[in-house]
Amino acid sequence: MSLLKTLLAALVLTLASASAQAEAIYRFNGGADSGSLTGSSYEGEFRFDDVAADFDGWTLLTDFRFMGFGLDLGLSDADPTATPVAWFAAGQFLGIDYRSIGGSAMPSVTLMAGFFDLSEAYLAYGNAAGVDGFGGLNFQRLTAEVPEPTTAGLLLLGLLGLAQRRRR
């Protein structure tokens, strides 16, 4: 009877953890390699709710910060006509889309995800007249990838089964 209770408890924990979503945190940096701000560096960080291993599509950014070109931008500085998102293809992170609102005295900043690969992601900056220059992006994931709750639950059930078999 204790094995049944243990298995039931493991099932309840697995189902409870299925609703928990890990947060992915990334840091980025780079430098302008063309235009009026050539040689200027920038950096930042963003977050989003992590996605399944085979996910295709986009997910909303939950936090964003960009520092560079004399700017300190966040999600509240995003262009309201362009939702800030992280893009994926078959679970592979492709980068983010973010566009700030520029002005006459402040350049606009746009981060664009790669189409097929993260190495294609780039930054563009401009002024009221249009695009002024471009720069590269380097990404670093700060959070470890967490196994899906179902996988963790199956592993737990397997270990419980081995422990029960050993007791006999």
Between residues 159 and 66, which one has the greater pLDDT?
A: 66
Query: What does the pLDDT read at residue 159?
Result: 63
Higher pLDDT, 66 or 161: 66
Domain tally, the chain? 1
- φ, ψ at 148 (rounded to 5°): -60, 150
Q: Is residue 128 part of a domain?
A: yes
Task: Flag whether 7 is in a domain.
Answer: no
Instruction: Report pLDDT for 5.
Output: 60
Q: Cβ distance 82 to 97 under 8 Å?
A: yes
As a whole number, mean pLDDT of residues 118-147 equals 88
* pLDDT digits 0-9 by tens, 74-103: 999 999 999 999 999 999 999 999 999 877
In-domain check, residue 153: yes
Tell me whether residue 19 is exposed, middle or buried, using C-beta atoms within 10 angstroms of its C-beta: 0 to 12, 13 to 18, 19 or more. Answer: exposed
pLDDT at site 18: 46
Residue at 91 is within a domain? yes
Quote the domain boundaries for residue 65: 22-162
Task: Round to whole Å and give the CA distance between 152 and 55.
Answer: 19
**Residue 16, domain member (yes or no):** no
